[in-house]
Amino acid sequence: MNLKNKKIIVTGGAGFLGRHIIQQLIEKEKVLEENISVPRSKTYDLRKLKSVEKLFRDFNADIVIHLATTAAGIGHNKEHPAELYLDTLLMGTYMMEQARLNNVKKFVAVGSAIAYPASAPIPLEEKDFWDGLPEKTLAPFGLATRILAVQAQAYRQQYGFNAIYIIPANIYGPGDSLDPEKSHVIPSAIMRIDTAIRNGMDRIEAWGSGNASREFLYIKDAARGIIAALKTYNGSEPVNLSSGMEITMKDLYNKISRLMDYRGIIIWNVAKPEGQLRRCMNGSKAREEFDFQAKTGFDEGLKSTVEWYLRNIGK
């Protein structure tokens, strides 16, 4: 698919991932800025049907990239399960239905690895996506975002609607959210260590045992993978965007400590939640379907993220 003259709605386009996708659409795909709509919540509350209907009346879209979510770090998700469930369910349902009714050519739903069954073998493979329930503490969001994949398959089967479902690994990089209530694990760790350095603290607390492991995908790679799927992939099954790496939280904190020259002790609070013990994905389907492979190594990406923080925030 040539995107140059397409009109594209990017929900969540003002967020971390959305900004990078829009930048690549403009710079690499030559999409005109005026052909990209980024609905903001003050004007278009995507949880309300009439608001979503208005969005499609106001902007005659060819493509929708649906990124909008209220999900954040494990602490925020644990405190707001009902909001996460309802917001995710309503936004996805209304956006896809109105896209169909308004003859949108392609709908890209960006999901989460949290939607995978807690019992799925590691690394996570698309063939296991439906074989069980998500991890219990994250099930409200996990099931709500999985509904997007269900809706995409049902709409393809009944209406011939071209909706795809992409699952990136944990995204990180310069420009990530630094809201203490909503930040993900990497910016949260950077902020905790920075606070300790500024206050002369010889120890900091981190959640869980430190033995849980996660896979991280650099933001520019994630944006590139989603655009590649938009242009090339037209299948009914979910597709992982994987970096092919996995790291424990202890090793992650140690890497960040070295990059920030912090020599204090990390105290692991096992009373706090840490989610599934392991979560990483098999990326072979994305390589086969649209030739996606992450280009940024984790050490390089993490160094870039810490440098961005120190340059812009930690002054």
Distance from first CA to last CA of the chain, Å, rounded? 44
Q: In the numeric block, which tokens belong to residue 92? A: 């996805």
Contact 208, 272 (CB under 8 A): yes
CB atoms within 10 A of CB 295: 12
For each of the domains in the chain, give its residue range(s) and CATH number, in order of start: 8-173+216-245+279-296 (3.40.50.720)
Report the alpha-carbon distance of residue 105 to residue 9 in Å, rounded.
12
Give burial (CB, 10 Å; 0-12/13-18/19+) of 180: middle
- Give the pLDDT confidence score for residue 73 in this predicted structure: 60
Query: How does pLDDT run across 90-104, given as a tens digit for each residue?
Result: 999 999 999 999 999
Query: How does pLDDT run across 184-216, given as a tens digit for each residue?
Result: 899 999 999 999 999 999 999 999 999 999 999
- The amino acid occupying position 300 is E
Q: Using a pLDDT cut of 70, give the percent of the chain over it.
A: 97
Rounded to 5 degrees, what are φ and ψ at 164?
Answer: -120, 160
Q: How many residues does the chain have?
A: 315
Query: How does pLDDT run across 255-293, given as a tens digit for each residue?
Result: 999 999 999 999 999 998 787 888 999 999 999 999 999
Average pLDDT, the chain: 94
> Is residue 315 scored above 60 in pLDDT?
no
Confidence band for 56, pLDDT divided at 50, 70 and 90: very high
Confidence (pTM):
0.94
Give Cα 17 distance to the centre of its chain.
Answer: 7
| CA max distance for the chain | 62
Report the alpha-carbon distance of residue 145 to residue 139 in Å, rounded.
10
